[in-house]
Structure 1
Amino acid sequence: MAIIPATWDMYEMFQAIFQAPTYHLIFEALLILWIIKLIFSKSYAPGKTVLTEKEKEALIEDWHPEPLAPDVPDDHPVLQAMNNNIISGKAEKYVTVRGKRCINMATLNFLGMVGDESIEAVTIKCLRKYGVGSCGPRGFYGTMDVHLELEDRLAKFMHCEEAILYSYGFATIASAIPAYSKRGDVIFCDEGVCFAIQKGLVASRSLIKYFKHNNMEDLERLLLEQQAEDQRNPKKAKATRRFLVVEGLYNKHGDICPLPKLIELKWKYKLRIFVEESFSFGVLGASGRGITEHFGINVDEIDLIAASLENSIGSCGGFCCGKKYVIDHQRLSGLGYCFSASLPPMLATAAIEALNIMERDPGICQTLRNNCRMVHDGLSKLSYFHVGSDPLAPIQHLYLTEPSADRDLDTCTLQKIADEAIKNGVALTLSRYLEAEEHHLPLPSIRVAVNAKLSNEEITKVVATIAEASRTVLCTSSL
């Protein structure tokens, strides 16, 4: 008699059940019961607790919220400096601070563009045409013809294929770095870079490897370690991009990066190099094109150049320049470009006119460098200070020759010297840092900013005033 196939299948299933181990059957039975329980059990719905008015008042009285920010003492030196160093009028070669007219050695108006009559004239004309602000990001009706003109002028001035304009100088490099470097990439960075670069490094979420300031041996040591690591894991190395981030002229130190050696290491170890030129643009090079012109290096050797328009140009915002495909990527991935209102048209026009002045009179950059040398030579002769900056730097850092072990005490001493100088007609300021957030905190210093419009007599007065102020403060404190 033939067995029906369905009946045969059931026979085999029951046969398998009876042959299975007992513990296996018990586990399956428990699992089936647990599934049935989950299906038919009610979801958890906590009951609503009703509080009396008295209980509510007691809870509110016991609640002490944490402050949004930590308490700051009223005598904090930064707050005192902000309250005391309020200027009235333009931040030109001379500035009125605390009601006294002083030679301005504090603001970063390197080429004296602030207060230039031709810049003011074109800016007023632009203001009447466009109004004050743009009221929108570049991709959302915030782009105006003057923005495109400025980008074109900057690209041609820097001998690059394309440039991109940001409305805030700090956000320029801070947005550019994370636009390219992502999690899993490696960034080799000088430990003396400015705070804007540090914020860009954090935003990139990349692996950051700092090398000692301007120390090429330490940089190559890190590169060799990375090379050995790549050889151990070639699959990971193939997907890892490597970047090198430096400043052309360092804000916190006032010295120049050794770009020729950096270029050599770039090709040797296959790196992409970013150079931040906020303090070298308009300063270094025969026509102010920055560190590449200073060393006679082709700008195509640099993957990305970033700079602020807030120092030499005397406007606002910043720019990046390089190859077209590199810059176009930022128009989609540079957060400071995509989501910030564009640069006010009148400030873009002011930057264009400043570029016109630099191109008509490239000697203005040479005048600035001559003034920098004269200020550096004069300050180097002061007995109470040593100068840590390069002779060509428009920012000269004055450090105490005999610093104490107390940073706050040295900062207070330097502030007294700056205050004494203001009394005698020279406006000075200290270098300021977010001390808890800086990767590498420099020693306290007085930051002397040089202007191309200064005469030899004014520079001599500045040096003499700083010398007298330091003698007055330091001799009094030693008594």
Structure 2
Amino acid sequence: MMAVIPATWDMYDLIQGVLQAPWYHMVFEVALVLLIMKIYYSQSFSPDKTVLTEKEKETLVAEWVPEPLAPEVPDDHPILVGMDKYCIEGQNGKYVKVNGKSCINLATFNFLSMVGRKEIEDVALQALKVYGVGSCGPRGFYGTMDVHIQLEEDLAKFMVCEEAILYSYGFATIASAIPAYSKRGDIIYVDENVGFAVQKGLTASRSNIRWFRHNDMEHLEQLLIEQSRLDKKNPKKAKVTRRFIVVEGLYLNSGDICPLPKLVELKWKYKVRIFLEETMSFGVLGATGRGVTEHFEISPDHIDLISCSLENAFGSTGGFCCGKKFIIDHQRLSGLGYCFSASQPPMLASAAIQALKILQDKPHMLVDLRENSEKFHEKLKGIPDIAVVGDPISPIKHLVLAEPAGDPGLDIRTLEMVVDTAMNESVALTVARYLEPEEHLPKGPSIRLSVNCELTQDEITRSVEVIQRSFQTVLQKLRTRSPEVSSPLESVQQDKKSEVASR
């Protein structure tokens, strides 16, 4: 009882406190108590329960139409049709066998002809007998093998960096690296022409994205200046906001090389970090194939993170990042593709080690690749009715129509007809494909051409002649359409129906 009723002196203090309290305070408390009592004693609203008969239930179930799991894909989608039309038999080397026909391969990224090298195949077979096919575990859970550590050490030494980290999937490399460092509230300045893997990494980071025009350093600096002004207005927020520039060394979507010297200048001027995606430039640019840093003779120490792929010039699979030790160690704990994916198959890690040795022993392959790229570029420029997009030394070229129809669908179909015509003359080309609904910007229709270091002068000349004849044949056919066809689009549609019927 004494625990419930306060002592006499405490009761006196309580009464005095109530009497000395402002009147409006007492009114508010009394009103609050009354409101609580009203809510407590009032009856809760209970809507009338609708009871359905068995017949009504059966009718509702019969009328229900589930939402499709994915949007319907037409049977004549270009990618699905292409999978049936261009079935590869054997290796994707300098020559590729498509539906039984041997063709010069200008479609895949086998820049250094690592695919099919006997010394790589022998090493891979030896590793297969020792380690088996796969690792069946992430790197942190019994998925790390001695060949993974050796490959990371070799790549770090080759790239003149402190450490390297190996991923089992090339696409996941940069897509995992970006969100490992950049988080919500941070700012990323990105070239609008970056590839889809970079775009997925940006989405996963949930950072604030600032797009700048392709290779336009003036536009990038304008964005940096604008942000500097905002930082001065809110220095407290600026202190905890990290800033990154993400670019590609050699752009897959255009064949252009990034202006790295200017980027490094802006990095130090505005205190930002640079992430360099070298999927296409690794093993391609530079005197020894180290990429765009070596091409411009810039120390890798000026780049905060370099991401590369082993799936193109090296003919293996997977990718890697390299840089300072503390930066790479952070990825071992935060890189999703590293932490949660099975490690690279040891057989393919061994193949990559051997490919790196071959590149170091035979640097003339890079000279041959550069010369072939320049020869191709010069000869392609002489073809009428098309424009060549890309740097002359880039092994990636994009061929676009000089006078597009204004309808991307029509232009793509026209380019597909060129590819089919060239295939009939044993030259394998490909139309560049994109996930249009998910791309940051729509990409113009083009034929993407890849150069190989082992192509001879005769093969280059013959390939360009076939490409020129293919364009002339297709464009002439569209220009001299039959009287019953009222537009080039109808002409293309007629040809498409004939092809489908023949297949």
TM-score, with structure 2 as normaliser: 0.89
Aligned-pair identity (%): 62
SS of equivalent to 2:320: strand
Tell me: CA distance 1:234–1:11, structure 2 relative to 1, closer, same or farther (3 Å).
closer
SS of equivalent to 1:351: helix
Could you tell me which residue of structure 2 aligns to residue 334 of structure 1? 335
Tell me: CA distance 1:256–1:17, structure 2 relative to 1, closer, same or farther (3 Å).
closer
Pairwise CA distance, 1:378: 1.2
Tell me: CA distance 1:19–1:349, structure 2 relative to 1, closer, same or farther (3 Å).
closer
Could you tell me which residue of structure 1 aligns to residue 83 of structure 2? 82
Tell me: CA distance 1:240–1:25, structure 2 relative to 1, closer, same or farther (3 Å).
closer
Could you tell me which residue of structure 1 aligns to residue 252 of structure 2? 251
SS of equivalent to 2:62: helix
Pairwise CA distance, 1:217: 0.7
Pairwise CA distance, 1:84: 1.3
Pairwise CA distance, 1:57: 1.9
Supply the distance in 2 between the matched residues of 1:66 and 1:29 (Cα, whole angstroms). 54
Mean CA deviation greater in 56-65 or 30-39: 30-39
Cα deviation digits, residues 203-237 of structure 1 (max 9, x gap): 11111111110011111111110111111111111
Supply the distance in 2 between the matched residues of 1:196 and 1:118 (Cα, whole angstroms). 31
Supply the distance in 1 between the matched residues of 2:136 and 2:45 (Cα, whole angstroms). 50
Pairwise CA distance, 1:173: 0.4
Aligned residues: 475
CA contact (8 A) 1:77 1:412 kept: no
Cα deviation digits, residues 393-440 of structure 1 (max 9, x gap): 111100101111100000000010001100110010011111111112
TM-score, with structure 1 as normaliser: 0.94
In the alignment, structure 2 segments of 5+ residues that lack a partner are 1-5, 481-503
SS of equivalent to 1:261: helix
SS of equivalent to 2:387: strand
Q: Which residues in structure 2 correspond to 1:260-275 (within 5 Å)?
A: 260-275=261-276
Tell me: CA distance 1:293–1:23, structure 2 relative to 1, closer, same or farther (3 Å).
closer
Pairwise CA distance, 1:365: 1.1
Pairwise CA distance, 1:30: 5.4
Supply the distance in 2 between the matched residues of 1:456 and 1:152 (Cα, whole angstroms). 38
Could you tell me which residue of structure 1 aligns to residue 168 of structure 2? 167
Q: Which residues in structure 2 correspond to 1:135-214 (within 5 Å)?
A: 135-214=136-215
Tell me: CA distance 1:19–1:265, structure 2 relative to 1, closer, same or farther (3 Å).
closer
Pairwise CA distance, 1:26: 6.6
Could you tell me which residue of structure 2 aligns to residue 220 of structure 1? 221
SS of equivalent to 2:263: helix
Supply the distance in 1 between the matched residues of 2:433 and 2:129 (Cα, whole angstroms). 38
Residue identity opposite 1:446 in structure 2? I
Pairwise CA distance, 1:287: 0.8
Supply the distance in 2 between the matched residues of 1:11 and 1:363 (Cα, whole angstroms). 99
CA contact (8 A) 1:105 1:449 kept: yes
SS of equivalent to 2:416: helix
Could you tell me which residue of structure 1 aligns to residue 73 of structure 2? 72
Tell me: CA distance 1:231–1:19, structure 2 relative to 1, closer, same or farther (3 Å).
closer
Could you tell me which residue of structure 2 aligns to residue 93 of structure 1? 94
Could you tell me which residue of structure 1 aligns to residue 475 of structure 2? 474
Pairwise CA distance, 1:35: 4.5
Supply the distance in 2 between the matched residues of 1:11 and 1:323 (Cα, whole angstroms). 71
Could you tell me which residue of structure 2 aligns to residue 359 of structure 1? 360
Residue identity opposite 1:178 in structure 2? P
Q: Which residues in structure 2 correspond to 1:280-429 (within 5 Å)?
A: 280-429=281-430
Supply the distance in 2 between the matched residues of 1:38 and 1:152 (Cα, whole angstroms). 70
CA contact (8 A) 1:101 1:425 kept: yes
SS of equivalent to 1:460: helix
Supply the distance in 1 between the matched residues of 2:141 and 2:7 (Cα, whole angstroms). 69
Supply the distance in 2 between the matched residues of 1:325 and 1:22 (Cα, whole angstroms). 64
Supply the distance in 1 between the matched residues of 2:136 and 2:229 (Cα, whole angstroms). 51
Supply the distance in 2 between the matched residues of 1:465 and 1:285 (Cα, whole angstroms). 31
Pairwise CA distance, 1:192: 0.8
Tell me: CA distance 1:46–1:165, structure 2 relative to 1, closer, same or farther (3 Å).
farther
Supply the distance in 2 between the matched residues of 1:474 and 1:339 (Cα, whole angstroms). 50
In the alignment, structure 1 segments of 5+ residues that lack a partner are none
Tell me: CA distance 1:41–1:351, structure 2 relative to 1, closer, same or farther (3 Å).
farther
Mean CA deviation greater in 62-71 or 250-259: 62-71
Pairwise CA distance, 1:46: 9.7
SS of equivalent to 1:273: strand
Tell me: CA distance 1:16–1:293, structure 2 relative to 1, closer, same or farther (3 Å).
closer
Supply the distance in 2 between the matched residues of 1:199 and 1:397 (Cα, whole angstroms). 23
Tell me: CA distance 1:155–1:24, structure 2 relative to 1, closer, same or farther (3 Å).
closer
Mean CA deviation greater in 25-34 or 241-250: 25-34
Supply the distance in 2 between the matched residues of 1:15 and 1:351 (Cα, whole angstroms). 85
Supply the distance in 2 between the matched residues of 1:17 and 1:157 (Cα, whole angstroms). 80
Cα deviation digits, residues 376-405 of structure 1 (max 9, x gap): 111111102110111111111001011111
SS of equivalent to 2:449: strand
Mean CA deviation greater in 245-254 or 18-27: 18-27
Q: Once superposed, what is the RMSD of the aligned Cα atoms?
A: 2.3
Supply the distance in 1 between the matched residues of 2:38 and 2:141 (Cα, whole angstroms). 56
CA contact (8 A) 1:281 1:288 kept: yes
Supply the distance in 1 between the matched residues of 2:49 and 2:132 (Cα, whole angstroms). 57
Tell me: CA distance 1:156–1:11, structure 2 relative to 1, closer, same or farther (3 Å).
closer
Supply the distance in 2 between the matched residues of 1:162 and 1:43 (Cα, whole angstroms). 66
CA contact (8 A) 1:285 1:294 kept: yes
Supply the distance in 2 between the matched residues of 1:14 and 1:454 (Cα, whole angstroms). 101
CA contact (8 A) 1:94 1:104 kept: yes
Residue identity opposite 1:308 in structure 2? S
SS of equivalent to 1:320: strand
Pairwise CA distance, 1:59: 2.1
Cα deviation digits, residues 291-346 of structure 1 (max 9, x gap): 01111111111111001110000000000000101101000000010011110010
Residue identity opposite 2:243 in structure 1? R
Q: Does 1:430 align with 2:464?
A: no
Mean CA deviation greater in 96-105 or 392-401: 96-105
Supply the distance in 1 between the matched residues of 2:20 and 2:440 (Cα, whole angstroms). 69
Supply the distance in 1 between the matched residues of 2:451 and 2:265 (Cα, whole angstroms). 32
Tell me: CA distance 1:20–1:360, structure 2 relative to 1, closer, same or farther (3 Å).
closer
